[in-house]
Amino acid sequence: MKKIASIILASVALFATSAKAEYKFNFVMHSDTNNAFWAAVHKGFKDACAQINADCQMLTLSGDGDQQEQLQNLESSIAQGVDGIVTTITNPTIFDAAVDEALAAGIPVITANTDDPEGAAGSNRLAYVGQDLEAAGYELTANLSEMFPDGDIHVLIGVADMNQSWAYTRGNGIARFMEDYKAANPDRKVTYEKIESGLDLSTVGNRVAAYVQANPNTTAYLDVGFWEAGAAAAVRNLGYGPGEILLAGFDLVDVVFEEMDKGYVQLTVDQQPYYQGYMSVHQLYLMNKYGLSALDINTGKAMIGPDDVETIRSFKGMSVR
Protein backbone atom coordinates (compact mmCIF):
# COMPACT_ATOMS: atom_id res chain seq x y z
CA MET A 1 0.00 0.00 0.00
CA LYS A 2 2.72 2.46 1.05
CA LYS A 3 4.76 1.32 -1.91
CA ILE A 4 1.95 2.03 -4.36
CA ALA A 5 1.24 5.41 -2.82
CA SER A 6 4.88 6.38 -3.11
CA ILE A 7 5.02 5.22 -6.75
CA ILE A 8 2.01 7.37 -7.60
CA LEU A 9 3.48 10.29 -5.71
CA ALA A 10 6.83 9.97 -7.44
CA SER A 11 5.34 9.66 -10.91
CA VAL A 12 3.18 12.72 -10.37
CA ALA A 13 6.16 14.66 -9.03
CA LEU A 14 8.00 13.78 -12.23
CA PHE A 15 5.69 16.22 -13.98
CA ALA A 16 7.64 19.04 -12.37
CA THR A 17 9.60 20.90 -14.98
CA SER A 18 13.16 21.74 -14.24
CA ALA A 19 13.69 24.44 -16.88
CA LYS A 20 14.82 27.73 -15.45
CA ALA A 21 13.70 30.09 -18.18
CA GLU A 22 13.61 33.85 -17.81
CA TYR A 23 9.98 34.11 -18.92
CA LYS A 24 6.97 31.83 -19.15
CA PHE A 25 4.42 32.32 -21.92
CA ASN A 26 1.21 30.42 -22.69
CA PHE A 27 -0.73 30.17 -25.95
CA VAL A 28 -4.41 29.34 -25.36
CA MET A 29 -5.99 28.24 -28.63
CA HIS A 30 -9.42 27.04 -29.70
CA SER A 31 -8.71 23.84 -31.57
CA ASP A 32 -7.64 20.28 -30.91
CA THR A 33 -4.33 18.84 -32.05
CA ASN A 34 -5.82 17.27 -35.19
CA ASN A 35 -6.42 20.56 -37.01
CA ALA A 36 -3.68 20.84 -39.68
CA PHE A 37 -3.83 24.64 -39.81
CA TRP A 38 -2.37 25.12 -36.33
CA ALA A 39 0.91 23.34 -37.04
CA ALA A 40 2.47 26.53 -38.46
CA VAL A 41 1.22 28.67 -35.54
CA HIS A 42 2.70 26.15 -33.13
CA LYS A 43 6.00 26.11 -35.04
CA GLY A 44 6.22 29.93 -34.94
CA PHE A 45 5.45 29.88 -31.22
CA LYS A 46 8.09 27.25 -30.49
CA ASP A 47 10.76 28.88 -32.67
CA ALA A 48 10.27 32.26 -31.00
CA CYS A 49 10.38 30.67 -27.54
CA ALA A 50 13.61 28.84 -28.38
CA GLN A 51 15.23 32.08 -29.56
CA ILE A 52 14.55 33.90 -26.30
CA ASN A 53 14.91 30.81 -24.10
CA ALA A 54 11.36 31.13 -22.77
CA ASP A 55 9.38 28.34 -21.11
CA CYS A 56 6.34 28.05 -23.35
CA GLN A 57 3.17 26.02 -23.27
CA MET A 58 0.58 25.56 -26.02
CA LEU A 59 -2.85 24.73 -24.59
CA THR A 60 -5.07 22.82 -27.00
CA LEU A 61 -8.57 21.47 -26.48
CA SER A 62 -10.03 17.98 -26.21
CA GLY A 63 -12.80 19.05 -28.57
CA ASP A 64 -12.38 21.52 -31.43
CA GLY A 65 -14.13 24.75 -30.48
CA ASP A 66 -15.06 23.84 -26.87
CA GLN A 67 -15.12 27.38 -25.48
CA GLN A 68 -15.73 26.37 -21.87
CA GLU A 69 -12.54 24.31 -21.96
CA GLN A 70 -10.66 27.17 -23.61
CA LEU A 71 -11.82 29.56 -20.89
CA GLN A 72 -10.65 27.08 -18.28
CA ASN A 73 -7.22 26.92 -19.96
CA LEU A 74 -7.04 30.72 -19.98
CA GLU A 75 -7.92 30.87 -16.28
CA SER A 76 -5.39 28.17 -15.45
CA SER A 77 -2.72 30.15 -17.29
CA ILE A 78 -3.49 33.16 -15.10
CA ALA A 79 -3.28 30.97 -12.00
CA GLN A 80 0.11 29.69 -13.15
CA GLY A 81 1.38 33.24 -12.93
CA VAL A 82 2.92 33.24 -16.41
CA ASP A 83 4.59 36.36 -17.80
CA GLY A 84 2.33 36.70 -20.80
CA ILE A 85 -0.62 35.05 -22.53
CA VAL A 86 -1.50 34.77 -26.19
CA THR A 87 -5.09 33.71 -26.72
CA THR A 88 -7.74 33.56 -29.38
CA ILE A 89 -11.11 35.15 -28.63
CA THR A 90 -13.77 33.01 -30.23
CA ASN A 91 -16.76 34.36 -28.33
CA PRO A 92 -17.65 38.04 -27.88
CA THR A 93 -18.33 37.85 -24.12
CA ILE A 94 -17.18 34.79 -22.20
CA PHE A 95 -13.46 35.59 -22.19
CA ASP A 96 -13.80 39.25 -21.16
CA ALA A 97 -13.64 38.73 -17.39
CA ALA A 98 -10.63 36.40 -17.62
CA VAL A 99 -8.72 38.83 -19.87
CA ASP A 100 -9.41 41.62 -17.37
CA GLU A 101 -8.34 39.39 -14.48
CA ALA A 102 -5.04 38.62 -16.22
CA LEU A 103 -4.36 42.29 -16.90
CA ALA A 104 -5.21 43.14 -13.29
CA ALA A 105 -2.70 40.51 -12.19
CA GLY A 106 -0.06 42.20 -14.35
CA ILE A 107 -0.06 39.52 -17.06
CA PRO A 108 -0.12 41.05 -20.56
CA VAL A 109 -2.65 39.41 -22.90
CA ILE A 110 -2.57 39.67 -26.66
CA THR A 111 -4.79 37.89 -29.13
CA ALA A 112 -3.59 36.02 -32.17
CA ASN A 113 -5.42 34.42 -35.08
CA THR A 114 -8.90 35.32 -33.83
CA ASP A 115 -9.78 38.60 -32.17
CA ASP A 116 -12.95 39.76 -30.46
CA PRO A 117 -15.46 40.50 -33.24
CA GLU A 118 -15.49 44.12 -32.07
CA GLY A 119 -11.70 44.29 -31.81
CA ALA A 120 -10.32 46.59 -29.10
CA ALA A 121 -13.82 47.86 -28.39
CA GLY A 122 -14.96 44.38 -27.38
CA SER A 123 -12.01 43.22 -25.30
CA ASN A 124 -9.28 44.84 -23.23
CA ARG A 125 -6.57 42.63 -24.80
CA LEU A 126 -3.52 44.73 -25.63
CA ALA A 127 -3.07 43.89 -29.31
CA TYR A 128 -4.10 41.52 -32.10
CA VAL A 129 -1.70 39.58 -34.29
CA GLY A 130 -3.61 38.08 -37.18
CA GLN A 131 -5.76 38.51 -40.19
CA ASP A 132 -8.58 41.04 -40.54
CA LEU A 133 -11.09 38.23 -40.80
CA GLU A 134 -14.02 40.17 -42.21
CA ALA A 135 -11.89 41.95 -44.82
CA ALA A 136 -10.30 38.64 -45.82
CA GLY A 137 -13.74 37.11 -46.43
CA TYR A 138 -14.68 40.11 -48.56
CA GLU A 139 -11.46 40.04 -50.60
CA LEU A 140 -11.63 36.30 -51.17
CA THR A 141 -15.11 36.58 -52.60
CA ALA A 142 -14.21 39.63 -54.66
CA ASN A 143 -11.32 37.73 -56.24
CA LEU A 144 -13.40 34.63 -56.84
CA SER A 145 -16.19 36.72 -58.40
CA GLU A 146 -13.88 37.45 -61.33
CA MET A 147 -14.36 33.79 -62.27
CA PHE A 148 -18.17 33.86 -61.95
CA PRO A 149 -19.92 32.81 -65.18
CA ASP A 150 -22.47 35.00 -66.94
CA GLY A 151 -26.08 34.78 -65.91
CA ASP A 152 -27.61 34.03 -62.50
CA ILE A 153 -25.31 33.46 -59.55
CA HIS A 154 -26.01 31.41 -56.43
CA VAL A 155 -23.28 31.16 -53.78
CA LEU A 156 -23.20 28.81 -50.82
CA ILE A 157 -21.27 30.08 -47.78
CA GLY A 158 -20.00 27.39 -45.39
CA VAL A 159 -19.77 28.91 -41.89
CA ALA A 160 -17.93 26.07 -40.21
CA ASP A 161 -19.33 26.64 -36.70
CA MET A 162 -21.86 29.42 -36.15
CA ASN A 163 -20.70 29.66 -32.54
CA GLN A 164 -17.11 30.62 -33.38
CA SER A 165 -16.44 34.29 -33.99
CA TRP A 166 -13.63 33.67 -36.51
CA ALA A 167 -16.07 31.62 -38.59
CA TYR A 168 -19.03 33.96 -38.66
CA THR A 169 -16.83 37.06 -39.02
CA ARG A 170 -15.30 35.66 -42.22
CA GLY A 171 -18.78 34.56 -43.29
CA ASN A 172 -20.02 38.12 -42.77
CA GLY A 173 -17.23 39.42 -45.01
CA ILE A 174 -18.24 36.99 -47.75
CA ALA A 175 -21.89 37.96 -47.40
CA ARG A 176 -21.02 41.69 -47.49
CA PHE A 177 -19.29 41.25 -50.83
CA MET A 178 -22.27 39.29 -52.18
CA GLU A 179 -24.56 42.18 -51.20
CA ASP A 180 -22.26 44.62 -53.03
CA TYR A 181 -22.11 42.28 -56.03
CA LYS A 182 -25.88 42.05 -56.10
CA ALA A 183 -26.17 45.85 -56.04
CA ALA A 184 -23.61 46.15 -58.83
CA ASN A 185 -25.46 43.64 -61.01
CA PRO A 186 -29.13 44.66 -60.85
CA ASP A 187 -29.97 42.88 -64.11
CA ARG A 188 -28.84 39.46 -62.83
CA LYS A 189 -30.33 37.24 -60.16
CA VAL A 190 -27.67 37.08 -57.42
CA THR A 191 -28.42 35.01 -54.32
CA TYR A 192 -26.46 33.42 -51.52
CA GLU A 193 -27.13 31.21 -48.53
CA LYS A 194 -25.18 30.38 -45.35
CA ILE A 195 -25.06 26.92 -43.80
CA GLU A 196 -23.25 25.59 -40.75
CA SER A 197 -20.84 23.42 -42.69
CA GLY A 198 -18.78 21.70 -39.98
CA LEU A 199 -15.18 21.44 -38.83
CA ASP A 200 -13.87 18.42 -40.69
CA LEU A 201 -13.43 17.38 -44.31
CA SER A 202 -15.95 14.56 -44.43
CA THR A 203 -18.75 16.45 -42.65
CA VAL A 204 -18.31 19.45 -44.93
CA GLY A 205 -18.15 17.16 -47.95
CA ASN A 206 -21.42 15.44 -47.05
CA ARG A 207 -23.26 18.66 -46.33
CA VAL A 208 -22.09 20.43 -49.47
CA ALA A 209 -22.88 17.37 -51.62
CA ALA A 210 -26.41 17.23 -50.23
CA TYR A 211 -26.86 20.97 -50.77
CA VAL A 212 -25.58 20.91 -54.32
CA GLN A 213 -27.88 18.03 -55.25
CA ALA A 214 -30.85 19.95 -53.89
CA ASN A 215 -29.65 23.21 -55.48
CA PRO A 216 -28.02 22.33 -58.81
CA ASN A 217 -27.88 26.04 -59.68
CA THR A 218 -25.05 26.57 -57.13
CA THR A 219 -22.27 28.58 -58.75
CA ALA A 220 -19.68 28.57 -55.98
CA TYR A 221 -18.97 27.31 -52.50
CA LEU A 222 -16.88 29.41 -50.12
CA ASP A 223 -15.69 27.87 -46.87
CA VAL A 224 -14.52 29.95 -43.88
CA GLY A 225 -11.84 27.34 -43.16
CA PHE A 226 -9.88 25.00 -45.42
CA TRP A 227 -12.69 22.43 -45.65
CA GLU A 228 -13.61 23.41 -49.21
CA ALA A 229 -11.15 20.61 -49.93
CA GLY A 230 -13.74 18.18 -48.49
CA ALA A 231 -16.37 19.79 -50.71
CA ALA A 232 -14.05 19.32 -53.71
CA ALA A 233 -13.90 15.56 -53.20
CA ALA A 234 -17.67 15.46 -52.70
CA VAL A 235 -18.58 17.35 -55.90
CA ARG A 236 -16.08 15.24 -57.85
CA ASN A 237 -17.91 12.13 -56.61
CA LEU A 238 -21.15 13.67 -57.82
CA GLY A 239 -19.66 13.83 -61.33
CA TYR A 240 -18.82 17.52 -61.52
CA GLY A 241 -15.72 18.45 -63.50
CA PRO A 242 -13.02 20.87 -62.25
CA GLY A 243 -14.33 24.43 -61.99
CA GLU A 244 -17.96 23.54 -62.66
CA ILE A 245 -18.63 24.63 -59.11
CA LEU A 246 -16.10 27.24 -58.00
CA LEU A 247 -14.51 26.45 -54.65
CA ALA A 248 -12.56 28.77 -52.37
CA GLY A 249 -11.55 29.01 -48.73
CA PHE A 250 -8.84 29.96 -46.29
CA ASP A 251 -5.36 28.75 -45.40
CA LEU A 252 -2.58 26.73 -46.92
CA VAL A 253 -2.82 23.06 -46.10
CA ASP A 254 -1.71 20.10 -48.20
CA VAL A 255 -5.17 18.83 -48.94
CA VAL A 256 -6.14 22.21 -50.45
CA PHE A 257 -3.06 22.17 -52.69
CA GLU A 258 -3.95 18.67 -53.86
CA GLU A 259 -7.40 19.87 -54.85
CA MET A 260 -5.84 22.90 -56.60
CA ASP A 261 -3.63 20.49 -58.57
CA LYS A 262 -6.78 18.65 -59.64
CA GLY A 263 -8.41 21.95 -60.59
CA TYR A 264 -11.26 21.78 -58.09
CA VAL A 265 -10.21 24.56 -55.69
CA GLN A 266 -9.67 27.95 -57.33
CA LEU A 267 -8.56 30.20 -54.51
CA THR A 268 -7.40 30.27 -50.91
CA VAL A 269 -6.27 33.04 -48.56
CA ASP A 270 -2.94 32.95 -46.75
CA GLN A 271 -3.01 34.47 -43.26
CA GLN A 272 0.64 33.53 -42.56
CA PRO A 273 -0.04 31.62 -39.35
CA TYR A 274 3.67 31.30 -38.51
CA TYR A 275 3.69 35.03 -37.76
CA GLN A 276 0.77 34.60 -35.38
CA GLY A 277 2.75 32.24 -33.16
CA TYR A 278 6.12 33.90 -33.68
CA MET A 279 5.39 37.62 -33.47
CA SER A 280 3.07 37.31 -30.49
CA VAL A 281 5.80 35.69 -28.36
CA HIS A 282 8.39 38.28 -29.35
CA GLN A 283 5.96 41.03 -28.47
CA LEU A 284 5.34 39.58 -25.03
CA TYR A 285 9.09 39.20 -24.53
CA LEU A 286 9.85 42.81 -25.46
CA MET A 287 6.97 44.06 -23.34
CA ASN A 288 8.34 42.19 -20.33
CA LYS A 289 11.99 42.95 -20.93
CA TYR A 290 11.94 46.58 -22.11
CA GLY A 291 8.47 47.77 -21.24
CA LEU A 292 7.56 48.24 -24.89
CA SER A 293 3.87 48.46 -25.68
CA ALA A 294 1.90 45.95 -27.71
CA LEU A 295 1.03 46.64 -31.33
CA ASP A 296 -1.45 45.18 -33.77
CA ILE A 297 0.03 43.16 -36.61
CA ASN A 298 -2.04 42.31 -39.66
CA THR A 299 -0.62 39.00 -40.84
CA GLY A 300 -2.18 39.40 -44.26
CA LYS A 301 -4.72 38.12 -46.73
CA ALA A 302 -2.69 37.15 -49.78
CA MET A 303 -4.73 35.38 -52.48
CA ILE A 304 -3.23 32.06 -53.46
CA GLY A 305 -4.23 30.28 -56.65
CA PRO A 306 -3.06 27.08 -58.38
CA ASP A 307 -0.13 28.95 -59.99
CA ASP A 308 1.37 29.75 -56.57
CA VAL A 309 1.24 26.22 -55.23
CA GLU A 310 4.66 25.16 -56.42
CA THR A 311 6.44 28.09 -54.77
CA ILE A 312 4.64 27.54 -51.48
CA ARG A 313 5.30 23.81 -51.55
CA SER A 314 9.04 24.55 -51.51
CA PHE A 315 8.58 25.93 -47.96
CA LYS A 316 6.20 23.22 -46.82
CA GLY A 317 8.89 20.89 -45.52
CA MET A 318 9.88 23.53 -42.97
CA SER A 319 6.38 23.42 -41.42
CA VAL A 320 6.13 27.18 -41.52
CA ARG A 321 3.51 27.54 -44.25
Partner 1 sequence: MSKNFSLRSLLVRPEVATFLMFLAIMIGFYIANERFLDARNIRIVMGITPEYIIVAIGIAILMISGEFDLSVGSVFALVPMTIVQMVHQGIPPWFAIFLGLMIGIIVGFVNGFITLRFGIPSFIATLGMLYIARSLTTVATAGFPPPFPHILPNELFVYQFELFRASLYWALLVAVVLGVMLHRSNVGNWIYATGGDQNAASSMGIKTGNVKMFCFILCGFLAGFAGMIQTFRLEAPLPSQGYLLELESIAAAVIGGVSLFGGIGTVFGAVIGAILIRFLESGIIMARIDAEWFRAGLGSLIIIAVVFNTYISRRATRIGQNKAKD
Give the binding site for partner 1 (CB under 8 A): 1, 4-5, 8-9, 11-13, 15-17, 24, 32-33, 55, 57-63, 65-69, 71-73, 75-81, 91, 93-94, 161-163, 168, 194, 196
Burial grade of 34 (CB within 10 A; 0-12, 13-18, 19 or more): exposed
Q: What is the nearest approach in angstroms of partner 1 to the Cβ of residue 125? A: 18
d(CA 271, CA 314): 18
CB 50 → partner 1: shortest distance, Å? 15
Q: How far is the CB of 73 from partner 1 (least distance, A)?
A: 6
Strand-pair category, 220-223 with 24-28: unpaired
Separation of alpha carbons 300 and 104, rounded Å: 31
Closest approach of Cβ 229 to partner 1, in Å?
23
What is the number of other CB atoms lying within 10 angstroms of the CB of residue 317? Answer: 8
Tell me which amino acid residue 56 is.
C
Question: Residue 105: which residues within 8 A CB-CB, separation 6 or more?
Answer: 78, 81
DSSP per residue, 36-89 = TTHHHHHHHHHHHHHHTT-EEEEE--SSTT-HHHHHHHHHHHHHHT-SEEEE--
122 or 263, CB closer to partner 1?
A: 122
Q: DSSP 3-state assignment of 286?
A: helix
Q: Which are the contacts of 305, defined by CB distance < 8 A and separation ≥ 6?
A: 260, 266, 267
Residue (95 or 257) nearer to partner 1, CB: 95
Judged by beta carbon, residue 9 or residue 210, the one nearer partner 1 is: 9
DSSP E strand stretches across the chain: 24-28, 55-59, 84-87, 109-112, 128-130, 153-159, 190-196, 220-223, 246-250, 267-270, 297-298, 302-304
Nearer to partner 1, 55 or 244 (CB): 55
Shortest distance in whole angstroms from residue 18 CB to partner 1: 10
* Closer residue to partner 1, CB minimum distance, 20 or 187: 20
- Of 62 and 314, nearer to partner 1 (C-beta) is 62
**Least separation in angstroms between CB 34 and partner 1:** 10
Shortest Cβ 170–partner 1 spacing (Å): 15
When the beta carbons of 76 and 298 are compared against partner 1, the nearer one is 76
